[in-house]
Every structure is written in structure tokens, then in C-alpha cells.
Structure 1
Amino acid sequence: MSRQISEAAAEEERRVLGLKPVLAPVHRSYGEHPSQVYDLWPAEDPDAPLVILLHGGYWRYNRMHLTPFAAYLAANGFTTVLPEFRRSGGDGGYPGTFDDVALAVDTIPAGRTYVLAGHCSGGHLALWAAARGLLPAESPWYTTDLPTAVLALAPVTDLAGAIREDLSNSAALELLGGADHAESRLPVTDPLTLLREKGSTGVPTVVLHGAADEEVPLEQFGDYMAVHPEAELVVLPETGHYTLIEPGSPASRAEIDVFARLSRHEKG
């Protein structure tokens, strides 16, 4: 089914996604594939906390819409990395998208502690990356070298729920390679499924969403919290889905405080 949104939500989407992209001062590769690249906005302080930011777009679209927010984080004291990765509709989806996110977070920090963040489907990928320690040890994505902390902004947390709700025209099915493969791939790609038996990732986790989000069903956030009781839920009143990544919005200012708090966690 297609989701109906209000005119106010539609205007918010147009406003935020219509912001002019901000070119990064540094552009590098983390792998050999053309999509395995990242933009880097260094903060003024060379010892500033590091944030790795995973973009949304329902696993289909590129990172450019998130460049204004990445630049905003850097201007507020966080050295910010915005990776690209292979995406659905090209040569991404399962397993390429997951291969790339794992490679990016394993290599870009180069031993530094970092906060991993993501918006919408990027929030899904951030929560998944923080749960890689729950994967079977034989999985190529398994690792115990996890982020210092995670901030998921209006994340897709439940791929099975996204399939049931047909979010963004079967985006989750496309990510997993279609209906014939989805069920068998959920156990290693879905944060909710990974947590059901384990209960915690061991990574300090904040799920933040706007109470007026019309893009991602609110059940996504509640269902995730039910299986990860150690996570923290932050709800911003009168806040929509895209305002979370709008530089200078009240939501973005609140997020700066959360990033600062999470960046002070010591890696276990």
C-alpha cells in the first residue's frame, strides 16, 4: 500500500531534500569499487569527536541530500564522515550494501573511537552495524570491533515490518533481493531479528524520532525498543521525518547535544 502524507509533511520533504548540496573539503576511497568512497568534513579541533554518518534514501539513493547536515555537524564540533555504498537498483542490495557498510566502518576510523549515526534506511544500517557482534561467528560481517555508540534518526528498524507496510514501494524487498530471498536473509540483515534472542548489542544506542513523522511508522521505533531495552528512545514533539536532518532546525540542535553525550562514551 502507498502511504499518504499531509501537505505539511510533503512541504517539509521538499524543503529539506531541496537544500543545495555542500561539497566536502576531503574526498577519499575506502575500497576499490567506485561507490566505496566517502566525504570528510574535518572539525576545527583536530581532536574533535568522529561521527560516521550513513545516509537514507531507502537504500536506493545517493548521499548528496545529507551533505548539508554533515557539514552542519562539522561546524558544530564533530569531524564528520559521509560514506557512499552500493545501493539497490544498481549493484548493491544484498550482499553488496552490507559488505560496503561493514568495510567502511571497519576501515575509515583507523582505530579511532567514533559515533555511528544514520537517518531512515541509514539508521537501519547503523543499527545493523552495531549488531554485527550478534551475527554467527562464521558470517563475513561478524566482528566484535563495534562503534563507541549509535544514534539512529527515524530509523527503519524492522525489515519485515517495512515489507508488510510496503514502505517506499517495496524498498526492503528490493534490498533483500525479492520475496524469494527475504525470509532467509532477514536473520542476518534485520536489527530487530538479530536482537530478538540476544536482547542487547552492548553498544550505547539512542533511537531518536519526531512525533510527527509520517514517513516511517511509529511501530518501527516502539518494536525496536521492546527487543533492545538498554537502548534509549528520544521523541521530539511536533517534529517530522526530514526536519531531523535540516541544519539549524530545533531537532538538529537537540541532536548536537545527543552527539556530544554519546561521543563521551568510552569504548568497552
Structure 2
Amino acid sequence: MIENTHSAGRPLDPRSAWSGLSQAERDAAYDNNAAVKNSAALIAERNAASSRLRGSLRSHLDLAYGQRANNKIDLYPAARPEAPCLVFLHGGYWQRNSRELFAMLVEGIAAHGWSVAIPGYSLAPEVSLTDIVAEVPRALDWLAANGPSYGVAGPVVLSGWSAGAHLAAMALNHPSVHAGLAISGVYELAPIRDTGLNNALKLTDEEIAALSPLRLPVTSKRLDIAYGSNELPALVCDSINLHDKRVMAMAPGKLIPVDGADHFTILEALRRPDGVLVDAVRGLLD
């Protein structure tokens, strides 16, 4: 399925005049916390809900898939081992957050009989973005080999939010992945190097070329790309641009603007059993 409808419109991309922007303006172009006035309250509620749910849901927690401290995965198996599994990668600009803070997302798709797996990954500046990107396939390898022992043996849909959407796009071609859903992602890394985010990332020319999905050959698997209509323009444009690139390559996938959502509230569409992104995940196996 290929759809190319920009129903929410394309905002003015600040990167079109990037060289003329001040450092503060460049930083603001990617500062989701500052752009969403109640972001602190939204984050606090998300974290509290995840803390409550993580210990109460049927689960296998803190399973190591690699050698580094954050190379652990939380599994939330469905009643049927052969049920499909949503693998979700958290965000935080590759330098903050952890898998534990996103357990609140499990209930949405689990209500439809799915398993959920939430891998953690190492963070900058302790490791490079090259290292982080390489950890996701290792987590998927581990899940393919060991998931059945924990009741998770069904087809995998790979998703992620923010930095996790970038990581999901990078790992879409993993052999265990059936399809993907990228939410509110960054798919061109060059401007990131010109912001304060690069203090931790220290991106190189080689990483920008090799790790920007907008610069890479298109993977033919289905990838739905979602963003909130109230997101920062740079993120909206990256989502539209990646979808357009895939359309030109005849790769399947929908562009899903979530009306009224910002960078944080868009997760409600994956958290609620009736959310539009829960519907999107389920549709990826059609």
C-alpha cells in the first residue's frame, strides 16, 4: 500500500534558511521540550504511568541481549506465543530516557492480543551513534533466538518514537522485521550537528552520510510514517520527505498525520487501545 497524501500540509522548513539562523534558532528548531509548553507535565505523567504498569503487567524484565549496561530488553508476552509482537524503541535524541519509561505504551496494542518488546540501548556520549544503531539489530537477533522461550514467537512489527523512529527506520531491513511504524522521527542528521544536541553525539561526516535514512537506499518493506500536526516543522518535514522518497521508490507505506498532536501527545495514539497508531500497527500485518 502506497499513499502520498499530505493532508496536514507541509510547514515552512527552518532548514531552508539554515545558514542564516542564529545558534539559538537552530537549537530551537529541534527543541521539542521547549516547543511543547506543558512538556514537563506530560513527561512526568508518562513516567509515572510506566512505573505503575511495568511492575503489574505480565512480563519478563531486564533480559540482557548484549554486554553493555543498557543492552536489556523487557518482554510483555501475549496469551498466545504466536501472537504478533510490537518492538518499540524509545526516544530521547539518542542521549536520554530508557526503556522503563515507556511501559505505558504496552496496554494499547496488548488489548488486541499482541506481545510487546521494549529494548533499551546505550546512549551518547558514552557511545557513538554508530554504536547505538548497531545495537538494535542485536536486540532483534536476540528476540528471534530467545523470544519463543519467553512466549514471544510471532511476527515482528518494529516501531519507535523520536530518536527511536530513526533507529526503527535504520533497522527495517532486519530479517525478523515484517514492517515498521516510525513516529515523530529525525531522518536527516546534518542539521543536528549544528545544534547543542551534538555536544553529546559528536556526529562525523561519515555518520551523517551512513546513518541518515534520507540519504540511504530505500528498504522495500512497508514503513508507515507518523507525525503530529503540531510538531516542530523540521520533524514534520523529515517525515514527509522520507515518505516522499519511499513513494518515488515504490516502497509501501502510509503517511499518517495525527491531527492536533504534538511531539509528546502523539504517544497517546499508541497508548490507547482505540488509538490511530494502534490501528496503524495492526494494519501493518494486513
TM over 0.5: yes
**Residues 112 and 43 from structure 1, CA distance in 2 versus in 1: closer, same or farther, beyond 3 angstroms?**
closer
User: For the Cα contact (< 8 Å) 2:84–2:114, is it kept in 1?
Assistant: yes
Structure 2 counterpart of 1:170, from 197, 201, 208:
197
Q: Name which structure has the greater RCO, CA cutoff 8 Å, separation 6+.
A: 2
Structure 1: segments with no counterpart, 5+ residues: 132-142
**Residues 14 and 252 from structure 1, CA distance in 2 versus in 1: closer, same or farther, beyond 3 angstroms?**
farther
Please say which structure displays the higher CA radius of gyration: 2
Match of 1:137 in 2: none
Structure 2 counterpart of 1:220, from 232, 238, 255:
238
Question: Aligned partners of 1:63, 1:216: CA distance in 2, in Å?
Answer: 25
Q: Letter of the aligned partner of 1:98 in structure 2?
A: V
Match of 2:142 in 1: 107
Please report how far the alpha carbon of residue 209 of structure 1 lies from its aligned counterpart in structure 2 after TM superposition.
Answer: 1.0
Q: Tell me the secondary structure at the aligned position of residue 263 of structure 1.
A: coil
Question: Aligned partners of 2:169, 2:178: CA distance in 1, in Å?
Answer: 12
Question: Aligned partners of 2:79, 2:234: CA distance in 1, in Å?
Answer: 35
**Residues 9 and 126 from structure 1, CA distance in 2 versus in 1: closer, same or farther, beyond 3 angstroms?**
same
TM-score (norm 1): 0.78
Q: Tell me the secondary structure at the aligned position of residue 116 of structure 1.
A: strand
User: For the Cα contact (< 8 Å) 1:129–1:146, is it kept in 2?
Assistant: no
User: For the Cα contact (< 8 Å) 1:76–1:256, is it kept in 2?
Assistant: no
Alignment of 1:36-185 (within 5 A): 36-61=71-96, 62-90=98-126, 92-110=127-145, 112-130=154-172, 145=175, 147-164=177-194, 166=195, 169-171=196-198, 174-175=200-201, 178=202, 182-185=204-207
Please report how far the alpha carbon of residue 160 of structure 1 lies from its aligned counterpart in structure 2 after TM superposition.
Answer: 1.6
Match of 2:54 in 1: 23
Question: Aligned partners of 1:40, 1:20: CA distance in 2, in Å?
Answer: 14
Q: Tell me the secondary structure at the aligned position of residue 136 of structure 2.
A: helix
Q: How many residues align?
A: 239
Q: Letter of the aligned partner of 1:5 in structure 2?
A: A
**Residues 95 and 162 from structure 1, CA distance in 2 versus in 1: closer, same or farther, beyond 3 angstroms?**
closer
Question: Aligned partners of 1:232, 1:162: CA distance in 2, in Å?
Answer: 26
Q: Tell me the secondary structure at the aligned position of residue 32 of structure 1.
A: coil
User: For the Cα contact (< 8 Å) 2:130–2:211, is it kept in 1?
Assistant: no
Please report how far the alpha carbon of residue 96 of structure 1 lies from its aligned counterpart in structure 2 after TM superposition.
Answer: 2.2
**Residues 17 and 246 from structure 1, CA distance in 2 versus in 1: closer, same or farther, beyond 3 angstroms?**
farther
1:38-63: per-residue Cα shift (whole Å, max 9, x none)?
00111233321111111111111222
User: For the Cα contact (< 8 Å) 1:56–1:122, is it kept in 2?
Assistant: yes
Match of 2:148 in 1: none
1:98-156: per-residue Cα shift (whole Å, max 9, x none)?
2211211223123853100000000000001115xxxxxxxxxxx6x252101001111
Q: Letter of the aligned partner of 2:115 in structure 1?
A: T
TM-score (norm 2): 0.74
1:153-177: per-residue Cα shift (whole Å, max 9, x none)?
111111123334x2xx324x633xx
1:49-79: per-residue Cα shift (whole Å, max 9, x none)?
1111111111112222211113433233210
**Residues 99 and 7 from structure 1, CA distance in 2 versus in 1: closer, same or farther, beyond 3 angstroms?**
closer
User: For the Cα contact (< 8 Å) 2:172–2:221, is it kept in 1?
Assistant: yes
Question: Aligned partners of 1:33, 1:50: CA distance in 2, in Å?
Answer: 24
Measured on the aligned residues, the alpha-carbon RMSD in Å equals: 2.7
User: For the Cα contact (< 8 Å) 1:213–1:239, is it kept in 2?
Assistant: yes
Please report how far the alpha carbon of residue 13 of structure 1 lies from its aligned counterpart in structure 2 after TM superposition.
Answer: 4.4
Structure 2 counterpart of 1:201, from 209, 215, 219:
219
1:7-37: per-residue Cα shift (whole Å, max 9, x none)?
3556544543553423262022212333211
Question: Aligned partners of 1:40, 1:237: CA distance in 2, in Å?
Answer: 31
Question: Aligned partners of 1:249, 1:66: CA distance in 2, in Å?
Answer: 10
User: For the Cα contact (< 8 Å) 1:36–1:86, is it kept in 2?
Assistant: yes
**Residues 247 and 218 from structure 1, CA distance in 2 versus in 1: closer, same or farther, beyond 3 angstroms?**
closer
User: For the Cα contact (< 8 Å) 1:35–1:85, is it kept in 2?
Assistant: yes
User: For the Cα contact (< 8 Å) 1:114–1:263, is it kept in 2?
Assistant: no
User: For the Cα contact (< 8 Å) 1:243–1:251, is it kept in 2?
Assistant: no
Q: Letter of the aligned partner of 2:225 in structure 1?
A: V
